[in-house]
A and B are shown apart, each in its own frame.
Chain A
Amino acid sequence: MDQNIPEVIRTVPLQYYIYFATALFAIGVTGVLTRRNAIIIFMCIELMLNAVNILLTAFSAYRSDPNGQIFVFFIMAVAAAEVSVGLGIIVMIYRNFQNTDVNLLNRLKW
């Protein structure tokens, strides 16, 4: 199986990809949890998403299975749609509050 994997890819071990993706994901989570600006939170979500994408691609390459990479394309397409919706929501929040601080959105409580 290893023979099928190109030399270029083999120069970087799989673990490195995993560490990298995990770090990226952790940064994303931290950002989502700590920041209050909706746009920053949104960007951090994108980070988390792409960490997963990198992981998928890496596994796909090391397993010589193109399915993972194809899946990544789908995720990107869906993410594009999600981004447009999310940004739209943020624009609406700004129009209502003149601000994008998510802590202002605390009216949904009992």
Chain B
Amino acid sequence: MDAIILQILNGLDKGSAYALIALGLTLIFGTLGVVNFAHGALFMIGAFIAVSVQKLLSLSYVTLDETRTDFLGNPVKVETPYVVEWFGPEVGATIIDWSVPIAILFAIPIMALVGYVMERGLIKHFYKRPHADQILVTFGLAIVLQEIIKHYYGANPIQTPAPDALQGSFDFGVLIGFDPNVIIYPYWRMVYFAFAALLIGSVFAFLQFTTFGMVVRAGMADRETVGLLGINIDKRFTFTFAMAAVVAGLAGVMYAPINSPNYHMGMDFLVLSFVVVVVGGMGSLPGAVAAGFLLGILESFASMNEIKSILPGIDQIIIYLVAIIILLARPRGLLGRKGVMEE
């Protein structure tokens, strides 16, 4: 029982990341009709914004300590971060410690700009092209973006820790009557799940309760008619693309302390997120979220030893297996609508 609860919890944070990426993907697909293979790269850029902000806040000036020598026999260079110099040791250290949450403030405008430039500069030229062209150009873009990141940050993962106060783990088992140390769940993963829920809720509320959201939803249903009503739907769709980029970017920023960012992390998530979108139903926002959590949890269960001993290797194929079963039973996905991608 404890193992099952633990894997459900595990699946929630993995599912949160899938859901956030898939939400943006399906939003872009639903509004612009574009299959965006560069969406994983946006997640990766978000994580590297966290890395960059951490580096930025740790920017230091160098003084030479003549009393000690380095490995070459030269005086040791002592680095003091500017924030420590400006705000004092305590406040300075706290600012550096909280660099990941602070990165959210930077990530929102940066990701919106990245999304805007990507849509206006490249993707809008491919609206009327076949999906295969869109996939090729966005996949190419993803490779370019990840190689740029690798050039500047290297290929190795870069440790981007959560604030000290949110490190460590929470004994969840004690809360529900288990022995201590049986069901343990890291604080930051709880934060991630809560953050994802809030972000998903905000996107849904925005689309559901604002006029802007209403127009976007109308555009998703029938782009031509909305255009005929004299509404500049293109402008709104650019905004939607930027919004999807921000969602993916924020998912990346907050994911950085869970697994150290590396240039390849976008690709690792991309394929799975596409499966999530297809299982959820192309163009269905609730479907993407539901499928994200469902597949995240199933993936966690599949890596349990009890299951692996019966079906070895199941952890590597579970997502695709479930995708096949769901698509055979419900060809439009869990919550897919008729007419989407069926012309």
| A-B complex is real | no
Q: Which residues of B contact A (CB under 8 A)?
A: none
Q: Which residues of A contact B (CB under 8 A)?
A: none
